[in-house]
Amino acid sequence: MSINKNNLTTSWGAPVGDNQNSMTAGSRGPTLIQDVHLLEKLAHFNRERVPERVVHAKGAGAHGFFEVTNDVTKYTKAKFLSEVGKRTPVFVRFSTVAGESGSADTVRDPRGFAVKFYTEEGNYDLVGNNTPVFFIRDAIKFPDFIHSQKRHPQTHLKNPTAVWDFWSLSPESLHQVTILMSDRGIPATYRHMHGFGSHTFKWVNAKGEGVWIKYHFKTEQGIKNLTEEVARRIAGENPDYHTEDLFNAIKNGDFPSWKLYVQIMPLEDANTYRFDPFDVTKVWSQKDYPLIEVGRMVLNRNPENYFAEVEQATFSPGTLVPGIDVSPDKMLQGRLFAYHDAHRYRVGVNHQALPINRPRNQVNNYQRDGQMRFDDNGGSSVYYEPNSFGGPTESPEHKPSAYPVSGMADSVAYDKDDHYTQAGDLYRLLSEEERTRLIQNIVNSMKPVEKDEIKLRQIQHFYKADPEYGRRVAEGLGLPVPE
């Protein structure tokens, strides 16, 4: 009898005779080690988890497409942006940052907003957040920053003292802290939030001319947020609220969409702009660099399998295509290493060959072997370069654009150090009701902080952003208003 699809098989394809009773020495005897099907079943189960992401562990994903709606070819030669109407398949993963993979969706936390474009010239990953800025601006601070957001080493509890201690000693975080504590710190769903590339990137056109850019995905569903009270209730009732919302919306044909815009800065402006445009704790004012439309992204297909598509999806800001380059943003530079490194640890060295991650075009290179090499591993083709056997060769026209650098090799801070103006600008653009909720959210979050010294230090930062901002937080905490 041949095996058909109704036959349960072992992982080596042999039919299984009994999947309910293990093999024992007599009906009451001990279990036999010769029941290899049992051994394999138990052993495989023990290995079902890959390490969860150290950040962005809880997430949801969906497939869709990106369609160009405006001609941007004078700025970039990226093929997927070369024609109005051109469509490129995408996979998107949204996430919270600090919690574990089973944690509640409706917490106050930035949201990851990672997009993989499967372009004809390789994959392009835009690995951003739902906020235009970040807490720190140098990757060397990232492990400490995340430690402060994670659990206490003894109690295994979240630790507001560590959170505010780190922020108060890292005042560059003030702008992002203000966004996080504002209404947008808890989006109503993944569909009702914007996405940002956050860093500065470079676009390069067919003539080799570059511009600095920043990406903005604007939700077409409109911004909607949850109040702290409602978010807390939902976290108890349905910790997977955002995950479920995204899946059900797509299942019901209510496809979420975003418009993509860029801000464009001429390269030479970077030397004279009023702050360092590569500093990821700052936005570029839209009055200086208005939004220019690029296209529209629609999510219209749920994953078939969560583990295969969402858990194994591996994004990296270093996954670039010709026409899109990096900038000297120190946070971005660190991420160029950290993301693929995390995936090599978490998923394996051949993670880019998995179906969800592999490009739609052919991969031609001399990388061979490694754990779980599940394709033909290059077959018998030439496996080194240079070679005399017609193997793939580089194409110099696709080198990233060159740019001049100067100065001493040294560990140096960003040279223009205003942490306060933009946080204050944001405070001042909020309505009175929004300010009241912002202050209340901050006060609630800071109350459990163990040392007044930390609270007072942080209040001074709020005060420097806007005296009213500092005064109201101080009053809420029953502490003196700074002079």
- Judged by the rule CB under 6 A, the positions of this chain that interact with ligand NDP are 132, 179, 182-184, 194, 223, 283-287, 422, 425-426, 429
Q: Which is nearer to ligand NDP, 376 or 433 (CB)?
A: 433
Q: Which is nearer to ligand NDP, 152 or 428 (CB)?
A: 428
DSSP strand pairing (201-204 vs 87-96): unpaired
| Three-class SS state of 161 | helix
Retrieve residue 267's tokens: 């390269």
CB of 112 to ligand NDP, least distance (A): 17
Beta strands in 69-121 (DSSP E): 87-96, 111-119
Are 69 and 294 contacting, i.e. CB atoms less than 8 angstroms apart? yes
CB of 61 to ligand NDP, least distance (A): 24
What is the spatial distance between Cα 158 and Cα 147, in angstroms, rounded to a whole number? Answer: 10
- Within 13 Å, how many C-alpha atoms sit on residue 309's CB side? 16
State the Cα angle at 221 between 117 and 435, rounded to 5°.
110
Residue with tokens 């309505």: 431
What is the spatial distance between Cα 462 and Cα 177, in angstroms, rounded to a whole number? Answer: 10
CB of 289 to ligand NDP, least distance (A): 8
| Three-class SS state of 225 | strand
Are 371 and 379 contacting, i.e. CB atoms less than 8 angstroms apart? no
CB of 286 to ligand NDP, least distance (A): 3
Phi, psi (rounded to 5 degrees) for 136: -130, 170
Q: Which is nearer to ligand NDP, 194 or 464 (CB)?
A: 194
Retrieve residue 342's tokens: 């995390």
CB of 328 to ligand NDP, least distance (A): 20
CB of 464 to ligand NDP, least distance (A): 14
Secondary structure (DSSP) of 291-308: -EEEEEEEEEE--S-HII
Q: Which residues are catalytic?
A: 56, 129
CB of 325 to ligand NDP, least distance (A): 21
Burial degree of 393 (CB within 10 A; 0-12, 13-18, 19+): exposed
Are 144 and 165 contacting, i.e. CB atoms less than 8 angstroms apart? no
What is the spatial distance between Cα 120 and Cα 78, in angstroms, rounded to a whole number? Answer: 10
Phi, psi (rounded to 5 degrees) for 192: -100, 40
What is the spatial distance between Cα 146 and Cα 159, in angstroms, rounded to a whole number? Answer: 12
CB of 104 to ligand NDP, least distance (A): 22
CB of 258 to ligand NDP, least distance (A): 12
Phi, psi (rounded to 5 degrees) for 202: -120, 135
What is the spatial distance between Cα 199 and Cα 209, in angstroms, rounded to a whole number? Answer: 20
Q: Which is nearer to ligand NDP, 95 or 200 (CB)?
A: 200
CA-to-CA separations, 448 to 102, 399, 459, in angstroms, rounded: 25, 52, 15
Q: What is the DSSP letter of 309?
A: I
Give the number of other Cβ atoms within 10 Å of residue 6's Cβ.
5
Q: Which is nearer to ligand NDP, 118 or 203 (CB)?
A: 203
